[in-house]
Structure 1
Amino acid sequence: IAQAAEVQLDGDVLFSAIVGDLISRSVSFMISRYSQQQPGTDKIVQRLQRLLMRIDTVVEEAEGRRITNQGMLRQLKMLRQGMYRGHYVLDALRFQAICDKEGEEVSHSSSALSKLRPPKRLRASCAGGGSSDREAVLLSGANNSIQEELQRLVDTLEETMAGMKEFLFFLESYPRILRQPYGTYLILDNCMFGRQTDLERVLNFLLRPNAMHELAVLPIVGPIRVGKSTLIEYVCRDESVRDHFSTILFFPEGSLKNEGLIDLRGNNFNGLVRHQNCASQKRLLIIIEIAEDINERTWRRMKSSITCMTPRGGSKIIITSRSDRIVNLGTTEALRLDYLPQEAYWHFFKSLVFGSTNSDEQPKLASMAMEIALEQRQCFLSAYIIAGILRDNFDGRIWRTILECVRAYKQTNLLMFDQHPNLRLREDEPVYYWRLGKSHRYFLICNHHQSDSNENIPKINVQNILLGNGGTLPRGEFEALSWRSRIPPYYNYTISCKMQPPQLTVGRKKHVHQEGEHLI
């Protein structure tokens, strides 16, 4: 008991030191300066801010540890989601207060506080100075609603932290993860974001012994471009995985149609080897990527071939797909990946745009960045493209124009296809994308491709198309580079597109949203 107390005391000292550093970097000054809520709400905001400092500390410490307990990983995921939610609300409150103070209006269709703040008509009617008693009562009720929502959020986070005592105690027993200096993690396009818990779960699956020497299979299911390949690549590059398996084989999408590759006993898998470790026991790690489902005969032949090659067991398979049909192939519960929640996506987008710069020093720009992020519907590719433009053009006028273009782009595609454009991008459907050029406000994205980093890339960059730079664009359909990933597997993302404006019909034009009408 005495030893446990000493461990806990050391942990408390460590956490207190980190908290002191976080306090020095907190946003308390901005909150107290710009918050114009009722006194009761202001106190709740301060409680939320102090609570988030504690949560930030725990999450940062936990992310630096190699946690193997599945229950603790679930707790960490829940805590991280609460952290993103809390910071999201604090940012939204601060930006709303700034806009109210400046007399500006934030888009109601996508505002982060659409459920927490008074409607536009209430604020407008009460701002005129001659509001009636009835309007004052309505405004008071709206403020009470904000206060109640904030109180519920704080209560939930406090309950979560209250249940983390055992988590904090056992956290000290897990080894630290050796990683690069902290400065390399300030720009998120150089590291994987939002998949730490999923990464630890896959590593735990790979490194634990197989039950009864059976072939273990982990299915990973998720929609297109959600990060399945990125997660797998990080797993395969982990030193503990490379030391554990003698050979790591990778079957990309479509490769299993070659019957000769399925029989591994003849060692006929040139070009499929990701890693070989002769010092390790003969264990195979097989990575299989498929779009939908795998042929039952092919699957049986693959399993039989692996079992014959490693009769003592220990080999494992990870199979990824966009379809739930592979779930029944697993010997363990499937890992399901989805797009980031809106709160986490805002943290991701803000970090891409501002990098190591403190966004609190540019509150108006940060407010516009949040509005742009809210319009993206958690699309990774759009986040990288637009964040790159904003980061390279740190000018409020340009940001405002881009925000207007993004809003109009959404309305135009809703009009043309009755579907949000970023939902269409996820499904590889054609969309009309926005431009800042004086002519051809839109261009049509026809198809999407991804390729390895060593393949030739188009000379035309999507950012040049969006900004109207780069001279005259080709006629007809042409290829353009959307983005080059800086993290494994270092894919190049390209599009097939053409300079084609939307063809709007007279009968449907009346449904265009007013704020996007001038750009169509």
Structure 2
Amino acid sequence: MDILVSAIVGDLISRSASFVTSKYFQQQPDINKILQRLQSVLLRIDIIVEEAEARHVTNQGMLRQLKILRQGMYRGRYVLDSLRFQAALDEEEVSHSSSALCKTSPAKRLCFSRAGSSSSNREALLFGTNSNMREELQRMVNTLEDDMAGMKEFIFFLESYPRILRQPYGTYLVLDNCMFGRQTERERVLNFLLCPSATSDLAVLPIIGPRRVGKSTLVEYVCRHESVRDGFSMIMFFPEGSLKDEGVVDLKGNYINGLVRHQNSASQTRLLIIVEIAEDINEGTWRRLKSLATSMTPCGGSKIIITSRSDKIVNLGTTEALRMDYLPEEAYWHFFKSLAFGSTHPDEQPKLAVMAMEIALGFRGCFTGTHLIAGILRDNLNARFWRTTLECVRAYKQAHLLMFDQHSCLHFREDAPVYCWRLGGSSKYFLICKHHQLDSSEEVPKITVHDIILGRGGTLPQGEFEALAWRSRIPPYYNYTISCKMQSPQLTVGSKKRVHEEEKHFI
């Protein structure tokens, strides 16, 4: 009787899992044709985007068009990766389960049936409901094809822009040494700095965005551009907290709170002032700062870039404010995938790719964590290690939901203490109390977060201690450190929210 039941259950599971995979490529020819069209249009978009990124495009309209095209490419690649990797994984599980069905326990058969349901969950995340899959795919392909149809003029004008000389690095090395996903914003700031002002008044560009979105990095990246340094006689930087009511600097010689980033005596007298504030700036302080800058450059041409997390600085600008936000999920997946797989193509490792997509969801918006975790995965390219990492990510996300009723990424964005998981050592977690941003010239801790996660480096200090999280390879080459201590989360009885209710903010 047991043999008969096992045979019946095995046949049902095999049929069900076969349906999961075949519905992508076999039993629904309409969807198969749509996916083929999607692959075709993405290939053409890849060619245009790669060519555009190899040229120094300055036209703002073309940059906006390129941004739309790039976002569509990321979205299309994300969908294709999700379906392709899940289908390949389901086929592999069907093969293994069919051959070992009679030998497996009921628990293992249950585990397999859950794996099959993950495809439906992934479709729900991508398309809302399974029934919408065909319509959403069709709409996506139509949009991308329409975008491509309007690119003839773009391609024509693209040829007039000079090429950017680059060495033939691997993709992950390029992404590790550039500011990813901010090409349009970069050209917007460059255009503000290099183009003459319409009036003789002091030009001001406000840049607004949440904490750790990359405002300072964007400004520093642009200010190191050769044409910017040639165009200004002095570049001054006022970090957050340096402009107090009683401490406004005298730009004529007493650089008390400001840091001179660059001086160029050969250039005409033009100042570039970078101001970082958390929320708002005192009206009197702002008025005096502008007055001093204007008095030093009577012929005009000086400019100010002011960054903040608050909309209160919008009215300070003489041009439209530049708003920055966290990368969309599809673009972030492209970034994480490139770093985590390195020179290995994800298509060759579908089992790892499925796990990588879920791991990436836990670190979106945190580039420090992304570089750290992606580097660890790249150094240990095997399924067992990645599975252990995924289980740790799931457990720590659930722990944060139980303790704070909030996804760990949202907790991190608010600069609140967060728990981080460990793969080795006696404790499974450690508490990150504070985050620090150090200049490249400052001394950094000898203990690294990499060693803490992997359980290496010997006995860790008692109490709170400092650790190095990541060394940035792009200007301003900050070193990111944390204050942490070995402490496990104290779970209390409370309302338990489902993970997907929090993750909807990241999709």
Bin of the TM-score, shorter chain as denominator length: 0.7 to 0.9
* Alignment correspondent of 2:204: 217
Q: Distance in 2 between matches of 1:110 and 1:429?
A: 34
Residues 40 and 485 from structure 1, CA distance in 2 versus in 1: closer, same or farther, beyond 3 angstroms?
same
Please show how residues 127-166 of structure 1 align to structure 2 within 5 Å.
142=130, 145-166=132-153
Counterpart check, 1:450 vs 2:437: yes
Which of 344-353 and 425-434 deviates more?
A: 425-434
- Which residue among 95, 110, 115 is the counterpart of 2:85? 95
How far does residue 111 in structure 1 lie from its aligned partner after superposition?
A: 5.6
Amino acid at match of 1:291: A
Please show how residues 480-519 of structure 1 align to structure 2 within 5 Å.
480-505=467-492, 507-508=493-494
Q: Distance in 2 between matches of 1:158 and 1:512?
A: 38
Residues 264 and 408 from structure 1, CA distance in 2 versus in 1: closer, same or farther, beyond 3 angstroms?
same
Which of 327-336 and 55-64 deviates more?
A: 55-64
Amino acid at match of 1:98: A
Residues 405 and 300 from structure 1, CA distance in 2 versus in 1: closer, same or farther, beyond 3 angstroms?
same
Which of 460-469 and 61-70 deviates more?
A: 61-70
Measured against aligned partners, the alpha-carbon deviations of 1:416-452 in whole angstroms (never above 9, x if no partner) come to 0011111111111011211123532111111111111
Amino acid at match of 1:41: I
CA contact under 8 A between 2:249 and 2:257: conserved in structure 1? Answer: no
Please show how residues 18-167 of structure 1 align to structure 2 within 5 Å.
35-36=25-26, 38-103=28-93, 105=115, 108=118, 112-115=122-125, 142=130, 145-167=132-154
Q: Distance in 1 between matches of 2:116 and 2:242?
A: 50
Q: Distance in 2 between matches of 1:78 and 1:498?
A: 44
Measured against aligned partners, the alpha-carbon deviations of 1:119-144 in whole angstroms (never above 9, x if no partner) come to 8xxxxxxxxxxxxxxxxxxxxxx4x6
* Alignment correspondent of 2:328: 341
Which of 452-461 and 197-206 deviates more?
A: 452-461
* Alignment correspondent of 1:387: 374
CA contact under 8 A between 2:204 and 2:316: conserved in structure 1? Answer: yes
Unaligned runs of 5+ in 1: 1-30, 120-141, 514-520
CA contact under 8 A between 1:263 and 1:305: conserved in structure 2? Answer: yes
* Alignment correspondent of 2:337: 350
* Alignment correspondent of 2:411: 424
Q: Distance in 1 between matches of 2:388 and 2:72?
A: 33
Q: Distance in 2 between matches of 1:255 and 1:436?
A: 41
Residues 377 and 271 from structure 1, CA distance in 2 versus in 1: closer, same or farther, beyond 3 angstroms?
closer
How far does residue 186 in structure 1 lie from its aligned partner after superposition?
A: 3.9
How many residues are matched? 459
Measured against aligned partners, the alpha-carbon deviations of 1:339-375 in whole angstroms (never above 9, x if no partner) come to 1100000000011112232222222112211111123
Q: Distance in 1 between matches of 2:240 and 2:144?
A: 42
Residues 372 and 35 from structure 1, CA distance in 2 versus in 1: closer, same or farther, beyond 3 angstroms?
farther
- Which residue among 345, 355, 378 is the counterpart of 2:365? 378
CA contact under 8 A between 1:111 and 1:371: conserved in structure 2? Answer: no
* Alignment correspondent of 1:123: none
Amino acid at match of 1:472: T
Q: Distance in 1 between matches of 2:120 and 2:184?
A: 29
Measured against aligned partners, the alpha-carbon deviations of 1:180-228 in whole angstroms (never above 9, x if no partner) come to 3131654222111001111001000111111121110000011111111
Counterpart check, 1:181 vs 2:191: no
- Percent of residue pairs identical: 71
Q: What is the TM-score of this pair, normalised by structure 2?
A: 0.85
CA contact under 8 A between 1:307 and 1:313: conserved in structure 2? Answer: yes
Q: What is the TM-score of this pair, normalised by structure 1?
A: 0.83
Secondary structure of residue in 2 paired with 1:278? coil
- Which residue among 460, 463, 470 is the counterpart of 2:450? 463
Q: Distance in 1 between matches of 2:27 and 2:200?
A: 62
Residues 316 and 112 from structure 1, CA distance in 2 versus in 1: closer, same or farther, beyond 3 angstroms?
farther
Q: Distance in 1 between matches of 2:490 and 2:120?
A: 26
Secondary structure of residue in 2 paired with 1:46? helix
Secondary structure of residue in 1 paired with 2:494? helix
Q: Distance in 2 between matches of 1:163 and 1:395?
A: 43
* Alignment correspondent of 1:204: 191
Please show how residues 234-313 of structure 1 align to structure 2 within 5 Å.
234-257=221-244, 259=246, 261-266=248-253, 268=255, 272-313=259-300
Counterpart check, 1:433 vs 2:427: no
CA contact under 8 A between 1:111 and 1:374: conserved in structure 2? Answer: no
* Alignment correspondent of 1:360: 347
Q: Distance in 2 between matches of 1:262 and 1:185?
A: 44
Residues 109 and 89 from structure 1, CA distance in 2 versus in 1: closer, same or farther, beyond 3 angstroms?
closer
Amino acid at match of 1:114: A
Q: Distance in 2 between matches of 1:110 and 1:327?
A: 44
Secondary structure of residue in 1 paired with 2:123? coil
CA contact under 8 A between 1:261 and 1:268: conserved in structure 2? Answer: no
Measured against aligned partners, the alpha-carbon deviations of 1:225-275 in whole angstroms (never above 9, x if no partner) come to 111111111111111111111111111112222855532123646972111
Amino acid at match of 1:374: L
- Which residue among 158, 176, 179 is the counterpart of 1:171? 158
Residues 291 and 87 from structure 1, CA distance in 2 versus in 1: closer, same or farther, beyond 3 angstroms?
same
Pairwise CA RMSD of aligned residues? Answer: 2.6
Q: Distance in 2 between matches of 1:454 and 1:312?
A: 36
CA contact under 8 A between 2:170 and 2:343: conserved in structure 1? Answer: no
How far does residue 378 in structure 1 lie from its aligned partner after superposition?
A: 3.2
Which of 443-452 and 375-384 deviates more?
A: 375-384
Q: Distance in 2 between matches of 1:323 and 1:273?
A: 26
Q: Distance in 2 between matches of 1:443 and 1:326?
A: 38
How far does residue 114 in structure 1 lie from its aligned partner after superposition?
A: 2.4
Q: Distance in 2 between matches of 1:311 and 1:64?
A: 39
Residues 479 and 196 from structure 1, CA distance in 2 versus in 1: closer, same or farther, beyond 3 angstroms?
same
